[in-house]
Structure 1
Amino acid sequence: MPDGLYRILDISSHVVHGYVGNRASTFPLQLLEWDVDVLNTVAFSNHTGYMQWKGERATASQIRDIYEGLKSNTLTDYDVILSGYIPGAEAVREVGRVVEDLRRDQNDSPYGRDEIIWVLDPVMGDEDKLYVSPDVVPAYESLLPLATVITPNQFETELLTGTKLTSEADIFTALTTLHNKFHTPNIIISSAVPTGSGQQSSSSGKGNDFICAGQTFRSDGSACQFFLRLPFIDAYFTGTGDLFASMVADKFFKHTRRCHETYVSKNLTIPDHDLPLVRTLEDVSAIVQAVLRKTADAVALYDKQAELAVKTLGVARPEKGTKERRIADMKHGELRLIQSQDAFKNTHTNVKAQFYSA
């Protein structure tokens, strides 16, 4: 651990331009004092929201080669593994083998370190659309039992449980189903809008708010389910899930250490409001909401200036629906990570978790 930094292996996609995948996670994690090693699962010119891109996807053997190079130089003393988008079922399974190998080496180590935390974001699709091949789904299902924390979105939750989230109660039933099926100890559904809620906003077609929900376990083995209700920020974002998962990795690791020092080492019971996953979701939601507000404000200013330029200077603006407009809007809609440094360093949790009982 150089200079007292924590060490994390970030296995995710890479783009030259834009903020998705490891481009959305590396800088925030570095601000939070992580030494970030990045293993790229794709190398693209830009993210796919631009509709056109160039680049390559990593194969399972290429992922293994990179890992073997790290291992041969004893560079694999990680505290946390974070995994995001992985192209192809065999590559997904290879990442699972990498994590198993890292944990096996750690268990054989004479230093007695805690088991490596694995935050697994099962990136398979969103908004009722699968954007990986169907054989990736069972590949992920085989890995979920190995993860410490998983962060599926609503579509991924429905895919993994086989149940539509039509009511708030369905969200918490899904959490139970995910645990019973995969035995993952810590689960966060990163965003969910029950399809039967009837809430619609005027422009986006989404609800006026959405739910982040989680399930973890108390020291007596009982399940603790909780949730936050958060407002939708009316703009189009990319990379939100990647940012969310990276902040979960940071906060869950640190809150787990804090709880061990404050409660576990003194044989004290951790109160529900201070459980690591509860505090993690509160902190992460505050950070992500702050970044999205900063981004949405910048997009609104860009739109205002572009329309003003049309009216006052006669500067042509591409028509909505054209490829040129899509590219321009995507470019100006990238997450404002650099401009949001205070949000990462100074977490002010303004929404507290509520606890659910059936």
Structure 2
Amino acid sequence: MKVLSIQSSVAYGHVGNSAAVFPLQRMGIEVMPVYTVHFSNHTGYGAWRGPLLSGADVREVVTGIEERGGLDDVDIVLSGYQGADDIGDAILDAVDRVKRRNPAAVYACDPVLGNATSGCFVKPEVQELIRDRVVPHADLLTPNQFELGFLTGTDPRAIDETLDAVELLRAQGPRTVLVTSVERPDRPADTIEMLAVGESGAWIVQTPHLPFHANGSGDVTAALFSAHFQRTGNLAFALERSAASVYGLLKNTLESGQRELQLVESQEEYVAPTASFTAQRLR
């Protein structure tokens, strides 16, 4: 399997490609990372250094890969945070180039817009880009519950509301939707869930809720789920394995007392998770 991953990069810590690439490689997957920024650290620190690349820069890198024949056997195009509309256009161009060579390839998009705590934190132009141009081209979408509501103009809370919102999103183009950080009001205390919906049905998995937030965990989740699902075609398995791996990574990070994901230290979690969780079929 080969992945073209077009995302941000940081030297210190793990977000974007700096979070997604290593777990995929540890699973034996070839990854071609293309950077949209190269910062010293993620912006959650309030200060950072380094260059922001343009859409033209991204196109140049992808063109160079194409000239080497590197796009011929790509199975997944993976994208995350998109800081400007020219980056989004460059990613969609890359998707088009890949699919011309391999129609079975999928575009897996994490539509980074915001969260329930902070609200929407991207520019209006990026909101429009993702809602109007990216979502219709995505085969697999991995929004959190807030982003699901934003993209569908709903406020999903109960599980039936969330499922209905997912179907609204799937009607726009994506065949498969993974909703991360699902917090339905009637869930057991100290738990959190992920919901996966596709052509084979709808599945939900529940894990203990760890009392902290780690930047980059969504990037890891999107990468692992996309790879497992493209590799096996089994929605429930992809959901269970991704949940187990990310839970192990977050548990190790919490126990370390460190702010940044313990990505390398947790490498066995990507191939043989220490925990296991069973997905329940909803529809």
TM-score (norm 2): 0.93
Give the secondary structure class of the aligned counterpart of 2:267: helix
**Secondary structure of the structure 2 residue equivalent to 1:27:** helix
Q: Could you say which residue in structure 1 is the equivalent of 2:169?
A: 178
Give the direction of change, closer, same or farther, for the CA distance of 1:226–1:199 in structure 2 (3 Å limit): closer
Q: Distance in 2 between matches of 1:81 and 1:56?
A: 23
Give the fraction of aligned pairs with identical amino acids, expressed as a percent.
28
Determine if the alignment matches structure 1 residue 208 to structure 2 residue 190: yes
Whether 1:192 and 2:182 are equivalent positions in the alignment is yes
Q: Which has more helix, going by share of residues?
A: 1
* Cα deviations by residue, 1:224-272 (Å, 9 ceiling, x for unpaired): 122112221012311010010110122112212xxxxxxxxxxxxxxxx
Matched, 1:169 2:160: yes
CA–CA distance in structure 2, aligned partners of residues 56 and 124 of structure 1: 21
Please tell me the residue identity of whatever aligns with 2:123: S
Moved more, 36-45 or 68-77: 68-77
Q: State the SS of the aligned residue for 2:40.
A: strand
**For the residues of structure 2 that align with 1:17 and 1:278, how far apart are their CA atoms?**
34
Q: Structure 2: how far apart are the matches of 1:348 and 1:217?
A: 29
Match of 1:17, SS state, is: coil
Aligned mates of 2:241, 2:187 — CA distance in 1: 26
Alignment of 1:36-185 (within 5 A): 36-77=31-72, 78-106=74-102, 115-127=104-116, 128-141=118-131, 142-180=133-171, 182-185=172-175
Secondary structure in structure 2 of the residue aligned to 1:87: coil
Work out whether 1:285 is the aligned partner of 2:275: no
Which 5+ residue runs of structure 2 have no aligned equivalent? Answer: none
Post-superposition Cα deviations, 1:22-76, rounded to whole Å, max 9, x if no partner, equal 1111111111111211100111110111111012222111111111111122221
Structure with larger Rg: 1
Q: What is the letter of the counterpart of residue 92 of structure 2?
A: G
Residue 346 of structure 1 aligns to which amino acid in structure 2? A
CA shift for structure 1 position 149: 1.1
Q: Which residue of 1 aligns with 2:11?
A: 16
1:94 is displaced (CA, Å) by 2.0
Give the structure 2 partner of residue 345 of structure 1. 271
Kindly indicate whether the alpha-carbon contact (under 8 Å) linking 2:75 and 2:102 is maintained by their aligned counterparts in 1. no
**2:248–2:275: 8 Å Cα contact kept in structure 1?**
no
Work out the CA distance in 1 between the residues paired with 2:83 and 2:224. Answer: 22
Match of 1:248 in 2: 225
SS at match of 1:212: strand
Count of aligned pairs between the two proteins: 280
Which 4+ residue blocks in structure 1 deviate beyond 6 angstroms?
none
User: What are the superposed Cα offsets for residues 178-204 of structure 1, whole Å, 9 maximum, x if unpaired?
Assistant: 112x1311111011213xx2889xxxx
Matched letter for residue 345 of structure 1:
V
Q: Does the 8 A contact of 2:9 with 2:15 survive in 1?
A: yes
CA contact (8 A) 1:122 1:140 kept: yes
SS at match of 2:6: strand
Residue type at the aligned position of 2:202: Q
In 1, Cα distance between equivalents of 2:145 and 2:80: 16
Contact 1:212 1:228 in 2 (8 A): yes
How far apart are the structure 2 equivalents of 1:52 and 1:8? 31
Shift of 1:348: 5.6
**RMSD, matched Cα:** 1.8
Change (3 A) 1:106 1:342: closer
Q: Tell me, in whole angstroms, the C-alpha distance in 2 between the residues paired with 1:294 and 1:210.
A: 17
Counterpart-to-counterpart distance in 1, 2:91 and 2:10: 20
Q: Secondary structure at the match of 1:340?
A: coil
Once the 2 structures are TM-superposed, how far is the Cα of residue 129 of structure 1 from its aligned partner?
A: 2.0
Unaligned regions of 5+ residues in structure 1, if any? 1-5, 108-114, 201-206, 219-223, 257-275, 300-331
